[in-house]
Amino acid sequence: MLDVFMISSMKGLEFTGIYTIAIFMANVVEIPSRSISSISQPIAAQAIKEGNSSQANQLYKKVSLHQLVTGSCIFLMIWINIDNIYAIIPNGEKFADGKWVVLFLALARLLNVTFNFGAILVSLSKYYYWGLFFTLFITITGIATNLLLIPILGITGAAIGSVVTCLLSNAVQQWIVMMKIKATPFSKGLLKILILILALYGLNVLLPQWSPNPYVDCIYRTLIVGSITLLSVYKLKISDEINSIMDNFLQLIRLNKSGK
């Protein structure tokens, strides 16, 4: 919330309101990750306690992958409909200046969901005191980037500052995780989902505007891109766990049909 206070003092309450609406939209990206991290934390604690770096590493990869899959899919649905969202919300034209704020804040959230389990691993280990340095580093970097970018780019500058802060802080944090715990979130699945999201956004750009009605256009884009997203995640076998859930769901549908 540091950026909100700085925008309020440097740009005024009107811009603060626009920025706050954008924050609410971007925060949706993080919602599924909270449950995934909470479920995985006891397993991580046991692995760290036993000094099992291999298990902690595999858990980190799985948690990061699934948090990125869910977060990036939500982000994609928001971003392909961003103009429709602002057209639908009351007085949306007044808040539309926050469009690019949503983009950069959502990217910052995606960085966090990819790497934040590393912070949990550190906090559960004997290197937990590094959390204090992370907090101090993030605060100083956030203040510096906001002071530099808000006067130049306004509220979009504050959002870009958030991305820069996340990049730098997660880079430092990941270095600690790799050196001390021997864990990394990087995997083939992570690369696959990043390429897939970029490709699907490209597909959305090619989709014509089927209707000037924002509700109709929102449903139209979401159904097409959302369906292709689910199919692609399944066919590319990005995650064994996700494929298993989808296989069970398809099997249940077949059983229901055969029962009829």
Closest Cα to residue 207, out of 193, 226, 189? 226
Dmax (CA) for the chain in angstroms is 66
On the CB side of 104, how many CA atoms lie within 13 Å of its CA?
Answer: 19
Residue 9 pLDDT > 90? no
Quick one: pLDDT at residue 65? 95
Lowest mean pLDDT among 57-71, 108-122, 173-187, 244-258: 244-258
Residue 97 has a CB neighbour count (10 Å cut-off) of: 17
- The residues, any chain, with a CB within 8 Å of residue 125's CB and separated by 6 or more, are 48, 180, 181
Q: Give the Cα separation of 61 and 214 in Å (integer).
A: 38
pLDDT at 125 over 90: no
pLDDT at 259: 61
Report pLDDT digits (tens) over 209-236. Answer: 877 899 999 999 999 999 999 999 999 9
Structure tokens at 231: 């199919």
Q: Is the pLDDT of residue 4 over 70?
A: yes
170 contacts 115 by C-beta, under 8 angstroms: yes
Does this model's pTM top 0.75? My answer is yes
In 93-210, at which residue ranges do the beta strands (DSSP E only) sit? none
Which of 151-160, 206-215, 235-244 is the least confident region?
206-215
> Residue 58, Cα to own-chain centre: how many angstroms?
20
Query: pLDDT of 168-208, one tens digit each?
Result: 989 988 998 998 888 999 999 999 999 999 999 999 999 88
- Whole-number Å distance between alpha carbons of 96 and 78: 14
Per-residue pLDDT band at 260 (split at 50, 70, 90): low
Residue 116, phi then psi, degrees to nearest 5: -70, -20
Q: What whole-number percentage of the chain has pLDDT above 70?
A: 98
